[in-house]
Amino acid sequence: PLQVVGGKVKKPGKRGRKPAKIDLKAKLERSRQSARECRARKKLRYQYLEELVSSRERAICALREELEMYKQWCMAMDQGKIPSEIKALLTGEELGKAQQNSAKLAKAGKTEANSSNP
């Protein structure tokens, strides 16, 4: 039988979405898939963070070794000794400067020669 509610004719039965077992199963499967994806993302995030931590720890160790080396150099210099590494650096810098100056002079000579040619 037809019902009249508020001036509108209504048919008997339910209206709108019908919650079926299929919908419930699909919803559960979507939920499971979402949980699997969430766990995978979490695992990747933790792997990335662990790699980041280990690389920072390696960098810290390298910096500590470098700092210790500089401390040893300073202690040696306080005793009036010049470490061989510093001597090598100083002589290397002096040689490098001399080579740079000679290269600059050579370039300047070439540019002057080129500019004098018409």
For 66-112, how does the pLDDT look when each residue is reduced to its tens digit (9 = 90+)?
999 999 999 999 999 888 888 888 888 766 666 666 666 666 655 55
Please spell the DSSP secondary structure of 29-84, one letter per residue. Answer: HHHHHHHHHHHHHHHHHHHHHHHHHHHHHHHHHHHHHHHHHHHHHHHHHHTT---H
Residue 113 lies in a domain: no
Tokens 């919803």 belong to 27
Residue 9 lies in a domain: no
Residue 63 lies in a domain: yes
How confident is residue 14, by pLDDT bands cut at 50, 70 and 90? low
Residue 53 lies in a domain: yes
Residue 34 lies in a domain: yes
Residue 80 lies in a domain: yes
Total number of domains in the chain: 1
What size, in residues, is the chain?
A: 118
Domain encompassing residue 45? 24-94
For 26-36, how does the pLDDT look when each residue is reduced to its tens digit (9 = 90+)?
999 999 999 99
Q: Which residue has the higher pLDDT, 118 or 96?
A: 96
Q: Residue 12 has what DSSP assignment?
A: S
Buried b (16+ CB within 10 A) or exposed e, 22-42: eeeeeeeeeeeeeeeeeeeee
For the segment 6-19, the average pLDDT, to the nearest whole number, is 62
For the whole model, what pTM was predicted? 0.49
